[in-house]
Amino acid sequence: MKNTRTFTMIKPDAVLNNYTGPIIEHIEKAGFKIIAMKLKNLSIEQAKQFYKIHEEKPFFNDLIQYITSGPIIAAILEKDNAVEDFRTLIGSTNPAEADEGTIRRLYAKSIDANAIHGSDSNENAEIESNFHFSQEEII
């Protein structure tokens, strides 16, 4: 994966609040193409693997409980400068600090239930995409 793809997850709070439609519209209006997408429940083991980098953090157990509390929508998105542009589109981790008009500012309630994930590097975009999708599932 070069500089053109990123991985995202619409998180359980946003799915349960029926923000899926507005969030996908927001993403498409910003010029991202959907390359793969699925609705799924993460098992505890999958969640621990996905967030392994955070396993020493004090919020790890809460994060695992939250991310497995309902369905998520996993997707691979394509655009020039995808990783960086998508992080700008979603805004800061804490929605209270996120810029006006960002997805987290618009649709997230708190730092733990913050509506959406975006990969933080090209390397992690590839790892996270391969974690959720087989090659046949990617357009």
117 included as an active-site residue: yes
The window from 23-31, 34-42, 78-86, 111-119 that contacts ligand IDP (CB under 6 A) reads 111-119
Rule CB under 6 A: say whether 131 interacts with ligand IDP: no
Helices (H), the chain: 12-16, 20-29, 44-50, 60-67, 82-90, 103-107, 122-132
Phi, psi of 66 (to 5 degrees): -65, -45
User: Among residues 78 and 120, whose Cβ is nearest to Mg ion?
Assistant: 120
User: Among residues 6 and 32, whose Cβ is nearest to ligand IDP?
Assistant: 6
Burial class (CB in 10 A: 0-12, 13-18, 19+), 7: buried
User: Among residues 81 and 93, whose Cβ is nearest to ligand IDP?
Assistant: 93
Residues at the contact surface with ligand IDP, assessed by CB under 6 A: 54, 59, 62-63, 93, 111-112, 114, 117, 120
